[in-house]
Chain A
Amino acid sequence: MTGPLGMAALVAAPPWYPLHFAPASNLVEFLPELVVAAGMVAVLVTDLFVGPTHRRRLPLLTGLTLLAALLIAVGEWVGHVPGRPVFDGAFAADRFGLFADFLILLVALAVTALSPAYLQRRGLESGEYYVLLLAAVTGMMVLSGATSLIVVFLGIELLSIPLYVLCALNRDDALGQEAAIKYLLLGGFASAFLVYGMALVYGETGATQLGRIHQVLLHGSLAGRTDPMLLAGIALIGVGLSFKVSAAPFHWWTPDVYQGAPVLVTTFMSVATKVAAFAAFLRIFSVTFGTAQSDWAVPVALVAIASMVFGNVVALGQRSLKRMLAYSGIAQAGYVLIGVAVGQPDGTAASLYYLAAYAAMNTGAFGILTALSGRGEDCDDYEGILGLARRQPLLAALMALFLLSLAGFPLTAGFFGKLFLFSAAIHDGEVPLAVWGVLTSAVSLFYYLRVILTMFTEPGGAGEPVQVAGMTFEGGAVARAQLALVRPALGTRALLTLFAAATLVLGLFPALVDSLIQGIHVVAG
């Protein structure tokens, strides 16, 4: 039973044997995850045994690991046309998971490439950074292919715990410590909801594999019935996942953590985590719980609207670039949730396209802040980027492109991301979602364009305050903030230019990626 974005047939579970071993050949399908995990161990061991002079090799090792995983993933993409469940339906070897893996690996590669220079400037060089990064990547890749509630939970924890630590990377920074502890506590809180929901779903369906849960909902005793326990379970899982994708009203951690964490970690966290969590969200809701869509579509749509409104409106009032991008990220999560609410197959495809666009533009925007961040602190104040266009025209132009794309300007990735989502919503009859999306996009223009305006405004002379879109810049603060910024190396600029190129390609030739997405089959497990 496979069709475009349809589901593969369920593998028959062993009828009676209590202990069952999946054939070792299944490991082949798990190879990218294994490679990253092995790379993590290798980095850990290398870090223990080499001296500080050789520590510089660690990013190279990390990068090679990610690259190898990426190449294997590409090979597997070519291999799985319909996709199939492995490990008795606990994990899916399908293009849906691989597509998310591509985005995660590409972002991780970019972050690894930005790491050495940034960490050195901020004095945060350490081997465990790369270990934690690879551990988080492993967790994300596990999550994107997980088709069992247990594995979903495993993936979420495996990606979260390293991130908690990464947030606290700068041990001298009180804000970072606070962010990490908040993230840890709230993350545990959300995981509790998630596990509770999983327990309820297991209790009602008697299965942990998503495929079997789906079968039960489709043909079993629960078919066509609204079961309160099951709905409660779905709702709690939804709450847990909404936390991970930072959708309102479960987003409270996002601004504090994004601001407190080193901006490089924020770059990674804001994009890769969201891609992995949305992969799980889409698979669990749109596919596994697809038959109950009428029950959960409205709550998900409400969460989407709340995220779009809350994220975009609060972003207007921010004077910190990282917080502004955090609220923007909440709003972007709301847009992707439109695709979840619309469901299979159009909504899923539109969400995937948006995630690809988001990976390009948001990594780019945060990457610019990373590249500019100097010795003292992260590039976080509008003062620092005042007149950036004159000092660093290339970076200002790239930042403008990323922000325009986030706002959804035509010829950029964000335009097609939003267009596909809104048109999927309209085709599905969910017009209000599209209307809210368009209205909040209009609101978002203000805070995106404000950054661009700031970059393209000349700083005044000494002691002369400059007014830009409702913000006042004092000469002294401007000078201080600008001194803290650096001029990134050629390689960094080239990398950011690549992301800009990706943003443009997604906006100019949408068929390239959308045709890949149209060929994706989602395996339920």
Chain B
Amino acid sequence: MTIGHTMAAVGAALLLGLPLLGFLAISLLGRRLSQRVVRWLGPGVVLVAFAVVVVLLVATLSRPAADRSTTVVLWQWLQLGVPRWHGIPGTQGFNADFAVTIDPLALVMAAIITGVGGLIHVYSVGYMAQDRGFNRFFAYMNLFVTSMLVLVLSANLVFLIIGWSMVAFASYALIAFWYERPSAVAAGRKAYISQVIGDLALVLAAFLIFINLRGPSGRLLHTVSLPQIFANVGPGPHFHAGLGPVGGGVVTVIGILLFIGAAAKSAQWPLHTWLPDAMEGPTPVSALIHAATMVTAGVYLVVRFHPVFQQAPVAAAVVAAVGIGTALMAGVIGCTQYDIKRVIAYSTMSQIGLMIFAAGIGAYSAAIFHLLTHAFFKALLFLAAGNVIHAVGGEQDLRRMGGLGRRMRFTYPAFVVGSLALAGIPLFSGWFSKEELLGNGLVLGPATPWLWVIGILVNVLTSFYIFRVVWIAFHGAPASEAAGAAHEAPRVMLAPVLVLAGLAAVAGILNVAFADWHPISWFASFLRPVVGVVRTHPAAGADGLALLVGTAMSLGGLGLAALVYQRRAIPADLISRRWPWLYQLSFRKFYWDEIYDAALARPVLALAQGLQRVVEPRIFDGAVRGVRDAVAGLCQDFRSFQTGYFREYATVFFAFAAIGLLVLGLHLT
């Protein structure tokens, strides 16, 4: 079985078409479709799409490594290249074909989106069973999956941006899903505004690429085809080839703009504040969008555009620094939060910071591998947290839980597996991915090894805050009536959790490398055709050191959490008493919301109110009214010609013909 053009086209069409079909069917039929049907249809389309991904994966694996990328045009839409319509993808000119690329990177992403996404859909059947908006929920979820697949499969900048924005919309709709709650609507709005900032940056980056990219001979290409962009982005024989010299102004600006887009999607500083608020959405949404897929789209974008970042070392350094900085900041915040979902949300922000860091230093396959394992264990943690919230009647405050471990015989161990994987405890999947990532951080990138040191600190924080949750929520005595009466979740919600727990435990095996026999791990060699391999011969000493220190730090964090929350050897309020400012800094989330409110929201609002009072009525309304009156007046004037009398029509007709001839005569003489 080989992956030819036909197979890629059919596969991609099915992959995109199935969730789209689900969305259209559920949204167009609406209430006429019973919940019983939607229960099968919603998850069904995503799971079948996952089967398609598996087939495509097998087909791709059966090809030689050099031949694993297929680009096909699914839909010829807007072609303004000259001459039009000769059917060759990526020809010169603005040809916004919907072309898709089936390559290892796209397939890994598609597998996460449909695989983890499918499990979350199944889980939602139980979680949302009592909700009035059951059908609406699955319509949005299917739309989200479609959008995300458009994003990762697209081989064209225009459609990449379309997918990018559709994802933002679907996320907005799902965060604000419970639209009766003002806080949910506000959270949706906040998320959407952040996304739009990112969209704008991405559009600008695309535009700069479009107007600046030159072929090897120095000719402007004016292309939006991704394969063509990546093939030409590097310097060529001509002085002006590609996007100019390495580290040039244009390519650096493009890199920064791309990263702003990525930062908005991936909740990286300074566009990170929407993610915790997004927890207002139903928990499956948090698992699908704000853990496994959408927030990792920024990582995907940086990895996909690595040829651009390789030309722009400054932009790449910014990516790495912002990533690791966000990882640290979110880790610190995560240690003091009491809302179970918010702790996991900050943990997501922190872990994605690590992935962004890896993508910034050029460890692309490590970034994507951590993305994969993170999708497993983070979706697991969210779903397990969802079970907990479900069990205690919607309560999300850790302080009102406690002792749930005894009542939730399956959820508890699953949550612990997720925590172990997240903390990077040896042999769990997170250990493989995070240690590879940090090992690369020790030897690659700017400011080595200082960024790595921060990464190691993040390790401590990560295992501390997640085991803090484990001990507070699942151990000790129930802190509320609801916690005392908690019950295990129904089977439809347990099954996905247990599958994810299995994956979170063992997925690391994909990345095992053996020093001599097979120095590059299976996963890295799979991604190699797309992203290359940064280090073909890892420095054994440095890697070993990184591994040892990193693992020790993770275990240390776990131990610390045990000392504080289980043994109670260290009082939990030690920091808040000794260094209250530090505690407040963390508890108040570094005051970013307040800073934005004071520095951006209030001044902009004040400005807007001022403009509304003064400028709007006098200038803008005046101008609009002026245009309207002018056009309306013109309309009245013109209408007055239309008298209805034949004699006048004939006269005017004749007059215009005569004027025309007269002008012609004058023109000739």
Give me the interface of A with B, judged by CB distance under 8 Å. Answer: 181-182, 185-186, 189-190, 193, 226, 228, 231-232, 235-236, 239, 243, 249-250, 252-253, 255-256, 299, 310, 313-314, 316-317, 419, 423, 427, 443, 508-511, 514-515, 518
Task: Beyond the given A185-B650, A226-B668, A252-B649, please list 18 additional residue pairs across the A-B interface where CB-CB is below 8 A.
Answer: A185-B646, A189-B653, A190-B653, A232-B664, A235-B664, A239-B657, A239-B660, A249-B652, A249-B653, A256-B642, A299-B664, A310-B638, A313-B638, A316-B635, A317-B636, A510-B78, A511-B84, A518-B83
A189 to B85, CA, bound (A): 44
Are A518 and B660 in contact, with the CB atoms below 8 A?
Answer: no
Q: Is the interface of B mostly helix, strand, loop or mixed?
A: helix
User: Which of these, B76, B631, B652, B654, contacts A443 with CB under 8 Å?
Assistant: B631
B 73-84 binary contact with A (CB < 8 Å = 1; else 0): 001111110111
Cβ contact within 8 Å between B668 and A314: no
Among B631, B634, B653, B665: residue with most chain A CB under 10 A: B653
> B639: which A residues are within 8 A, CB to CB?
314, 317
A-B contact pairs, 19 of them (CB 8 A): A185-B650, A190-B653, A228-B664, A228-B665, A232-B661, A232-B664, A252-B642, A252-B649, A310-B638, A313-B631, A313-B634, A314-B635, A314-B638, A316-B631, A317-B632, A317-B635, A317-B639, A510-B77, A518-B85
Complex contact B85–A515 (CB within 8 A): yes
Roughly how many angstroms separate A182 CA and B653 CA in the complex, as a whole number? 13
Question: Is B644's CB under 8 angstroms from A256's CB?
Answer: yes
B179 near A: Cβ within 8 Å? no
Residues of B within 8 A of A (CB): 75-80, 82-85, 87, 631-632, 634-636, 638-639, 641-642, 644, 646, 649-650, 652-654, 656-657, 660-661, 664-665, 668
**A186→B646 CA distance, assembly (Å):** 8
In the bound complex, residues from chain B placing their C-beta under 8 Å from that of A235 are: 657, 660-661, 664
Task: Compute how far the CA of A316 lies from the CA of B634 in the bound complex, rounded to whole angstroms.
Answer: 10
Return A221 CB to nearest CB of chain B, in Å.
18
Q: Given the complex, which residues of A lie within 8 Å of B635, measured CB to CB?
A: 313-314, 316-317
**Is B631's CB under 8 angstroms from A186's CB?**
no
Name the residue of chain A whose CB is nearest to the CB of B657: A239
Shortest 10 CB-CB distances between A and B: which pairs? A252-B649, A317-B635, A249-B656, A511-B76, A515-B85, A314-B638, A239-B657, A511-B85, A316-B635, A313-B635
Question: When the two chains form their complex, are residues A182 and B649 in contact, meaning their CB atoms are under 8 A apart?
Answer: yes
Measured CB to CB, the nearest residue on chain B to A190 is B653
A174, chain B: closest CB distance, angstroms: 12
Given contacts A299-B660, A510-B77, A518-B83, contact A189 B650 (CB under 8 A): yes
Min C-beta distance of B96 to chain A, whole Å: 11
**Known A189-B653, A316-B635; contact A509-B75, beta-carbon cutoff 8 A:** yes
Bound Cα distance A164, B94 (Å):
47
> How close is B283's CB to chain A, nearest CB, in angstroms?
35
Give the residue of B79, B80, B656, B660 whose beta carbon is less than 8 angstroms from that of A511: B79
Report Cα–Cα, A185/B644, bound state, in Å. Answer: 13
Could you tell me the distance in whole angstroms from the C-beta of B635 to the nearest C-beta in chain A? Answer: 4
A481 → chain B closest CB, angstroms: 23
Determine if B84 and A518 form an interchain contact, defined as CB atoms under 8 angstroms apart: yes
Q: How far is the CB of A333 from chain B (nearest CB, A)?
A: 15
A408 to chain B, nearest CB (A): 14
B76: chain A residues at CB < 8 Å are: 509-511
State in angstroms the CA–CA spacing of A377 and B335 once bound together.
Answer: 75
| A235→B658 CA distance, assembly (Å) | 10
Would B657 and A186 count as touching, CB distance under 8 A? Answer: no
Asked if A231 and B664 make an inter-chain contact with CB atoms under 8 angstroms apart, the answer reads yes
Q: Chain A's nearest CB lies how many Å from the CB of B664?
A: 6
Which of B87, B641, B657 makes the CB contact (< 8 A) with A193?
B657
Contact present for B642 and A255 (CB under 8 Å): yes
B638 and A186 within 8 A (CB) = no
The distance in angstroms between the C-alpha atoms of A423 and B641, with both chains bound, is 33
Specify which chain B residues have a CB less than 8 angstroms from the CB of A232 in the assembled complex: 661, 664
Q: Which residues of B contact A236 (CB under 8 A)?
A: 657, 661
Q: Which of B83, B652, B660 lies in contact with A252, CB distance below 8 A?
A: B652
Residues of the A chain whose Cβ atoms lie less than 8 Å from the Cβ of B660: 235, 239, 299
Residues of B within 8 A of A182 (CB): 646, 649
Of the candidates A228, A249, A310, A514, the one whose C-beta lies within 8 Å of that of B668 is A228
Q: How far is the CB of B222 from chain A (nearest CB, A)?
A: 13
A189 to B647, CA, bound (A): 11
B residues in contact with A299, CB < 8 Å:
660, 664
What residues of B have a CB within 8 angstroms of the CB of A226 in the complex?
668
B84 touches A514 (CB 8 A): yes
Q: Which residues of A contact B664 (CB under 8 A)?
A: 228, 231-232, 235, 299
Contact B644 A508 (CB under 8 A): no
Question: In this complex, what residue of B is CB-closest to A299?
Answer: B660
Chain B residue contacts of A514, Cβ below 8 A: 84-85
The smallest C-beta distance from A478 to any residue of chain B, in angstroms, reads 24
**Cβ contacts under 8 Å, A181 to chain B:** 646
- Residues of chain A within 8 A (CB-CB) of B649 are 182, 186, 252-253
A301 vs B636: C-alpha distance in the bound complex, in angstroms? 24
Give CA–CA (A232, B653) in the complex, Å.
16
User: Chain A: which residue is nearest B645 at the CB level?
Assistant: A182
A446–B87 alpha-carbon span in the complex (Å): 37
* Measured CA separation A509–B87 after assembly (Å): 13
Cα–Cα distance between A253 and B653 once the two chains are bound (Å)? 10
Complex: A250 Cα to B649 Cα, angstroms: 9
Q: How far is the CA of A239 from the CA of B658 in the complex (A)?
A: 10
Give the chain B neighbours of A316 by CB distance below 8 A: 631-632, 635
Give the CA-CA distance A193 to B655 in the complex, in Å. Answer: 13
Which residue of the partner chain B has the closest CB to A253? B649
Residues from chain B with a CB closer than 8 A to the CB of A511 are 76, 79, 84-85, 87
Instruction: Say yes or no: A231 contacts B668, CB within 8 Å.
Output: yes
In the complex, are the beta carbons of B653 and A252 less than 8 A apart?
yes
Query: Given A252-B642, A313-B635, A314-B635: A186 and B661 within 8 A (CB)?
Result: no
**B77 to chain A: which residues have CB within 8 Å?**
508-510
A residues within 8 A CB of B80? Answer: 419, 423
A182, A243, A250, A313 — most chain B CB neighbours (10 Å): A313
Q: Hey, which chain B residues are within 8 Å of A228, CB to CB?
A: 664-665, 668
CA distance A250 to B82 in the complex (A): 36
Alpha-carbon gap, A402 to B632, bound state (A): 25
CB distance from B83 to the nearest CB of A (A): 7
Taken together as a complex, chains A and B put the C-alpha atoms of A71 and B638 apart, in Å, by: 45
Inter-chain CA distance A496–B201, complex, in Å, is: 42
CA A236 – CA B658 in complex, angstroms? 10
Report chain A residues within 8 Å CB of B656: 239, 249-250
Residues of B within 8 A of A317 (CB): 632, 635-636, 639
Least Cβ–Cβ distance between A110 and chain B, in angstroms: 26
Min CB–CB distance B667 → chain A (angstroms): 9
A186 touches B650 (CB 8 A): yes
* Shortest beta-carbon distance from A147 to chain B in Å: 25
Measured CB to CB, the nearest residue on chain B to A227 is: B668
* Most B Cβ at <10 Å: residue of A235, A243, A427: A235
- With the chains together, A511 CA to B87 CA distance in Å? 9
Whole-angstrom distance between the Cβ of B162 and the nearest chain A Cβ: 11
Q: Which residues of B contact A253 (CB under 8 A)?
A: 649
Shortest CB distance A182–B (Å): 5
Residues of B within 8 A of A249 (CB): 652-653, 656
Nearest CB on B from A52, distance (A): 37
Q: How far is the CB of B630 from chain A (nearest CB, A)?
A: 10
Residues on B with C-beta less than 8 A from A243 are: 653
Q: Considering only CB atoms, which chain A residue lies closest to B97 in the complex?
A: A511
Q: Which of the listed residues A193, A228, A236, A255 has the most CB atoms from chain B within 10 Å of its own CB?
A: A228
A226 to B634, CA, bound (A): 37
B657: chain A residues within 8 A (beta carbon): 193, 235-236, 239, 250
Report the minimum CB–CB distance from B30 to chain A (whole Å): 12
Contacts of A313 in B (CB 8 A): 631, 634-635, 638
Question: A299 CA to B78 CA in the complex, in Å?
Answer: 31
- In the assembled complex, the CB of A294 is this many whole angstroms from the nearest CB of chain B, namely 11
CB distance from A318 to the nearest CB of B (A): 9
